[in-house]
Amino acid sequence: MKITVRAFAQFREVVGEVTVLDLPQRSGLPVLFAALASRSDESRGMLFDDQGAIREHVIFMVNRKRVPRSSLDSIILYEGDEVAIYPPVAGG
């Protein structure tokens, strides 16, 4: 199934603005993250910390709806879903 990933801010520089991934049916977000991470070390470093956990500050949205961290493992993706990834900035 095809899932569209929209990347924002620094993550856009690493994976591109829009990426279409072909994932197995009923994949969850961890499968999508792993697919993105496999594209480059930079991509992996932006999504995962040194312990291999998803970086806590990164914001995820599925079909424009915010996904709380507690639901990261339970959400199932469907053909045509759009996942947005935003690593927020902090400076001023």
Partner 1 sequence: MLTEREIERYSRQIAFIGEEGQERLKAAHVVLAGAGGLGCPAALYLAVAGLGRLTIIDSDQVEMTNLNRQILHWEQDIGRNKTVSARDKLQAVNPDMVIDDVCEVVTGQNAKALTRQATLIIDALDNFPARYALNLAALVHGIPCIHGAVSGYDGHLTTVIPGETACLQCIFPNPPGGSEFPIIGTTAGIIGLMQAHEAIKFLTGRGTLMKNRLLIWDGRDSSVTFLDLEPDPECTACGNGTQDTGRGGGES
- Residues near partner 1 (CB under 8 A): 8-10, 12-13, 56-57, 59, 61, 64-66, 68-69, 84, 86-92
Under DSSP, is residue 18 helix (H, G, I), strand (E, B) or coil? strand
Which two three-digit tokens encode residue 67?
């996904």
Nearest-approach distance from CB 92 to partner 1, in angstroms: 4
Residue nearer to partner 1 on the CB measure, 26 or 69: 69
Residue nearer to partner 1 on the CB measure, 8 or 48: 8
Quote the CA–CA distance of 44 and 53 in Å, as a whole number: 10
- Total Cβ atoms within 10 A of residue 13: 11
